[in-house]
C-alpha cells in the first residue's frame, strides 16, 4: 500500500522557530521523508539542520545532490541552492531565483507534486509575500494533501494567506496541531492520483534543467510587456485557475507580489541614480557659473545659474517621488 510518504515544508520569516517547534512534535517512527526549504541568505552558515536535529527525534541533515529519500529523516535545503524532489532522490541545483529566493519553496513543491503526486503532503508555514502558494496549488492539483499554518497563528501571515487563496481546500491548523496532523496523513493510503497537467510537467522539466535556457520556447503562457528584474529577459504570464504568476525564459519566476516588489526596487534604484546625476549636473553648472563670473562673463554665468536652479527643482521633485514610494 502506497502512503503519503513525502512531506515538503516551506517557511520564511519566523520559520526557524516554527520549524523547531514542528520538529519537536514529529514522532521517531514517522513513515515519511521530510524536505524543508527555509528562506535564508546565501551567506548563511547552514546550521538549520543542526538546530532541527537537536529539537526532535528525527535525524536532520543538510541536503546534498544525489541523496536518496529515506523515511524518518529531515532534509534541509542548503543556502544558495534549490532543492528538488525527483524519482532518483534529491537534487540540489544552482538555478535561477524564484520569488527572489534561492532556495525557493515553489521548485521543491512543484517537483515533488509531479514525481510523487498523491504521495505528497505540502506544508506552508509563516513567511512574507507568497512563495509556496503556487507550489501548494501544484501539490493539490496532482492529488497531494495541502496543509497551511493558520494565518492567525503565524508570526508572518502573508505566506499562509496566499497559500490558502491558491489551495482553498487545504487543512489550516495551528502549529501546535500540525505534528499530529502530519503523522496521521503520513500513515494514510495515498489516494488515486490525477493526471499531471502538461504545463506543470513542462515547467518541472525546465526547473530540473536548472541553468538551461528555454530555447524551444516550451514554457506555456502568454507574452507580456514586462521584463525580468534579474536578467531583463522577456516574461511570460502563466494563469492557473484564475491566478497569475510570471516566468522568464531563463527560469526566474515571480508571484505578482514578488514581481511588484522587484519592480519597485528597480524603480527606486533608478530614481536614486537619476537624483545623483542631477545633483552632479547642478554642481557642475554652479562651478561653471563661478568660473565665468570670475572672468567677468556675467551673461554666461547667469545662464549657468538659471540652469543649475532648474536642475535642483528636478532634484526636489525626484526626492518627493522617492519619499512617496516608501508610503
Identify the pLDDT of residue 284.
Answer: 97
Average pLDDT value for the chain: 95
pLDDT confidence tier of residue 218, bands split at 50, 70 and 90: confident
Identify the pLDDT of residue 151.
Answer: 98
Identify the pLDDT of residue 138.
Answer: 98
Average pLDDT over residues 56-79: 97
Are 93 and 81 spatial neighbours (Cβ–Cβ below 8 Å)? yes
pLDDT confidence tier of residue 216, bands split at 50, 70 and 90: low
CATH topology of domain 6-187: Rossmann fold (3.40.50)
pLDDT confidence tier of residue 326, bands split at 50, 70 and 90: confident
Looking at per-residue pLDDT, the higher value among 305 and 211 belongs to 305
pLDDT at 315 over 90: yes
Are 107 and 213 spatial neighbours (Cβ–Cβ below 8 Å)? no
Average pLDDT over residues 162-189: 98
**What is the C-alpha to C-alpha distance for residues 76 and 49, in angstroms, rounded to an integer?**
6
Angle at 77 between CA 76 and CA 82, to 5 degrees: 160
Indicate the SS3 state at residue 83: strand
Are 236 and 251 spatial neighbours (Cβ–Cβ below 8 Å)? no
pLDDT at 206 over 70: yes
**What is the C-alpha to C-alpha distance for residues 125 and 105, in angstroms, rounded to an integer?**
11
List residues with catalytic annotation.
12, 39, 131
Average pLDDT over residues 175-195: 97
C-alpha cell at 252: 526566474
219-275 per-position pLDDT tens digit: 778 999 999 999 999 999 999 988 999 999 889 999 999 999 999 999 999 999 999
For the chain, what are the domain ranges? 6-187, 211-257, 261-325
Angle at 11 between CA 267 and CA 268, to 5 degrees: 10
18-45 per-position pLDDT tens digit: 999 999 999 999 999 999 999 999 889 9
According to DSSP, residue 3 is labeled B
Amino acid at each position: 500500500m502506497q502512503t503519503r510518504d513525502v512531506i515538503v515544508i516551506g517557511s520564511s520569516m519566523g520559520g526557524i522557530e516554527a520549524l523547531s517547534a514542528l520538529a519537536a512534535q514529529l514522532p521517531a517512527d514517522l513513515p515519511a521523508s521530510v524536505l524543508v526549504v527555509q528562506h535564508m541568505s546565501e551567506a548563511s552558515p547552514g546550521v538549520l539542520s543542526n538546530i532541527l536535529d537537536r529539537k526532535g527525534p528525527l535525524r536532520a541533515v543538510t541536503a546534498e545532490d544525489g541523496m536518496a529519500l529515506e523515511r524518518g529523516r529531515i532534509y534541509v535545503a542548503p543556502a544558495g541552492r534549490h532543492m528538488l524532489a525527483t524519482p532518483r532522490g534529491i537534487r540540489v541545483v544552482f538555478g535561477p531565483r524564484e520569488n527572489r529566493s534561492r532556495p525557493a519553496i515553489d521548485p521543491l513543491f512543484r517537483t515533488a507534486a509531479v514525481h510523487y503526486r498523491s504521495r505528497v503532503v505540502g506544508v506552508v508555514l509563516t513567511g512574507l509575500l507568497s512563495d509556496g502558494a503556487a507550489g501548494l496549488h501544484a501539490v493539490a492539483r496532482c492529488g497531494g494533501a495541502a496543509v497551511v499554518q493558520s494565518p492567525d497563528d503565524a508570526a508572518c501571515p502573508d505566506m499562509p494567506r496566499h497559500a490558502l487563496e491558491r489551495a482553498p481546500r487545504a487543512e489550516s491548523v495551528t502549529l501546535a496541531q500540525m505534528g499530529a496532523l502530519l503523522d496521521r496523513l503520513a500513515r494514510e493510503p495515498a489516494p488515486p492520483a490525477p493526471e499531471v497537467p502538461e504545463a506543470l510537467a513542462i515547467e518541472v522539466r525546465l526547473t530540473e534543467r536548472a541553468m538551461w535556457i528555454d530555447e524551444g520556447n516550451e514554457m506555456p503562457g502568454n507574452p507580456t510587456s514586462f521584463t525580468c528584474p534579474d536578467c531583463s529577459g522577456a516574461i511570460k504570464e502563466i494563469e492557473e485557475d484564475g491566478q497569475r504568476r510570471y516566468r522568464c525564459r531563463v527560469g526566474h519566476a515571480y508571484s505578482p507580489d514578488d514581481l511588484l516588489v522587484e519592480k519597485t526596487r528597480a524603480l527606486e534604484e533608478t530614481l536614486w541614480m537619476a537624483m545623483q546625476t542631477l545633483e552632479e549636473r547642478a554642481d557642475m553648472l554652479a562651478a561653471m557659473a563661478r568660473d565665468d563670473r570670475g572672468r567677468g562673463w556675467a551673461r554666461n554665468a547667469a545662464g549657468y545659474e538659471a540652469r543649475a536652479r532648474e536642475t535642483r527643482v528636478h532634484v526636489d521633485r525626484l526626492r518627493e517621488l522617492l519619499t512617496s514610494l516608501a508610503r
